[in-house]
Amino acid sequence: MAKEVNLTEELKRNFGFDTFKGNQEAIIRNLLAGNDTFVLMPTGGGKSLCYQLPSLILDGTAIVISPLIALMKNQVDAMRNFSAEDGVAHFINSSLNKTAIDQVKTDILSGKTKLLYVAPESLTKEENIDFLKQVNVSFYAVDEAHCISEWGHDFRPEYRRIRPIINEIGVRPVIALTATATPKVQHDIQKNLGMLEATVFKSSFNRPNLYYEVRPKTANIDKDIIKYIKSQEGKSGIIYCLSRKKVEELAELLQVNGIRALPYHAGMDSATRTQNQDAFLLEKIDVIVATIAFGMGIDKPDVRYVIHYDIPKSLEGYYQETGRAGRDGGEGQCITFYINKDLQKLEKFMQGKPIAEQEIGKQLLLETAAYAESSLCRRKILLHYFGEEYEEDNCGNCDNCLNPKKQVEAKDQLCAVLET
Ligand code: ADP
Ligand code: MG
């Protein structure tokens, strides 16, 4: 059936877009042909459409497993806006009461629901599995699939139960999608989902408009940051700190220095958090000082700089966090303050966790430190980390390329960093 469909027409009719982005069309054709499909695409690349459009074309209901309850509602609302049909998309998660869930189930069984988002903790519930056994499933989409891997930045144990549950509900093609592309995570996902044979679609993770710089972290860091922000007047920026305490202190310090800044971390009550986030999105403030709790799913296209006050826990996290700059394709400066002794601080944070987790954490941290201490092209190292070779000798947009250090030193590091 896939051959008969004019996909561009379907795209236009259902979503109002004229053309596909990147690999979207090839991905969709592969899924429509009934193949397991693995999609590695950076954030903002347009992964959702890769399952949304096929769900509208195929018979039955596509089941989308996604960990982000807040985003689920956004996506379902967006789908409903596109569609004249009521009940075309639904979600099941812990935010729904019994009456709401009954309505969802009625719609699904009546056949009008093309897309059902399910939170992993709802998918593992016996009653939901029993219900889904009665459903004509078109395919399964596992979004944010890196949650399966302990090497990913957001491991969720329930994600490891997806394959057995699919087998129980009824085997159909699976499409797994993630913006986390390290070869280790990729292998983990494919193995765990039983899709080692899947067709893999990998987009480039290069973000040419982002400038990467690592600065030494000295006793003057606060002054350095204030000076930097003042040089970026009127522009939006995010500052990531490791601890909630530092977030609060720094936000206050910036305010005292006449900078429009607010804090954001998971320890604040949710009303204040939402308020501060909105103030940032609506540009009532210029700077949000945050822990990594800030940013997941936030789409502010014109963030002009991301500062890391402390070294991130992994290069993966670094890529995701810096990736929030310049999403509109315009300038984005990514500046990290680094001092070797912060590594011990981060290791201390890991104490008390299971040994295996600590080992993984240490390994990830060492890779980040190697990046920070390197005099090689930052872009090259980052992309290498994602299994991608960057061919240019000089990216022209990182500190090491713009201000090269001594050749000999760089050559030694080539072995140290790239031979991992
Ligand atoms: P991801 O999940 O990969 O981070 P999303 O699925 O959220 O990305 O899509 C990012 C943005 O791109 C959304 O605003 C979406 O509407 C838009 N988009 C997706 N596909 C297309 C397309 N073919 N043409 C134009 N915009 C698109
Ligand atoms: Mg997405």
Residue closest by Cα to atom 16 of ligand 1? 46
CB atoms within 10 A of CB 15: 15
Q: For all residues of the chain together, what is the average pLDDT? A: 91
DSSP class of residue 147 equals G
Rounded to the nearest 10 degrees, the angle between the axes of helix 315-322 and helix 355-373 is 60
Nearest 5°: phi and psi at 398? -145, 160
Q: What average pLDDT does the segment 308-312 reach?
A: 96
pLDDT level of residue 155 (50, 70, 90 thresholds): confident
DSSP class of residue 338 equals E
Residues with CB under 5 A from ligand 2 (ion): 47
Which tens digit of pLDDT belongs to each residue from 289-306? 999 989 876 778 899 999
Q: What average pLDDT does the segment 149-176 reach?
A: 92
Question: How far apart are the CA of 47 and the centre of ligand 1, in A?
Answer: 7
Residue 92 pairs with which residues in a beta bridge?
118
Nearest to 41 by CA among 187, 197, 204: 204
Which tens digit of pLDDT belongs to each residue from 142-153? 999 999 998 877
| Whether 155 contacts 149, CB under 8 Å | yes
Instruction: Give whole-number Cα distances, 18 to 15, 45, 46, 49, 53, in Å.
Output: 9, 16, 14, 13, 14
Give every CB contact of residue 163 below 8 A, 6+ residues apart in sequence: 192, 193, 194
Radius of gyration from C-alpha coordinates of the chain = 23
Q: How far apart are CA 387 and CA 187, in angstroms?
A: 12
Q: Would the CB of 43 count as within 6 Å of ligand 1?
A: yes
pLDDT of 282: 92
Which tens digit of pLDDT belongs to each residue from 319-367? 999 999 998 889 999 999 999 999 998 888 888 888 998 999 999 999 9
Residue closest by Cα to atom 15 of ligand 1? 46
Instruction: Judge whether residue 57 has pLDDT over 90.
Output: yes
pLDDT of 54: 97
Instruction: Give whole-number Cα distances, 333 to 208, 319, 399, in Å.
Output: 11, 13, 11
Which tens digit of pLDDT belongs to each residue from 90-143? 988 888 888 988 999 999 999 999 999 999 989 999 999 999 999 999 999 999
Most ligand 1 atoms within 8 A of CB, residue of 8, 17, 117 to mutate: 17
Residue closest by Cα to atom 24 of ligand 1? 17
Question: How far apart are the CA of 356 and the centre of ligand 2, in A?
Answer: 29
Instruction: Judge whether residue 398 has pLDDT over 60.
Output: yes
pLDDT level of residue 44 (50, 70, 90 thresholds): confident
Question: How far apart are the CA of 75 and the centre of ligand 1, in A?
Answer: 11
Q: Which of 42-46, 170-174, 240-244, 412-416 has the lowest mean pLDDT?
A: 412-416
pLDDT of 419: 55
Instruction: Judge whether residue 83 has pLDDT over 80.
Output: no
pLDDT of 2: 46
pLDDT of 73: 73
Residue 20 CA: which ligand 1 atom is closest? Answer: 23
Question: How far apart are the CA of 63 and the centre of ligand 2, in A?
Answer: 15
Residue closest by Cα to atom 5 of ligand 1? 46
| Whether 322 contacts 372, CB under 8 Å | no
Q: Would the CB of 21 count as within 6 Å of ligand 1?
A: yes
Task: Provide the edge-to-edge strand list for the sheet that holds 332-338.
Answer: 210-216, 332-338, 303-308, 236-240, 287-290, 261-264
Which tens digit of pLDDT belongs to each residue from 234-291? 999 999 999 999 999 999 999 999 999 999 999 999 999 999 999 999 999 999 999 9
Q: How far apart are CA 128 and CA 56, in angstroms?
A: 23
DSSP class of residue 55 equals H
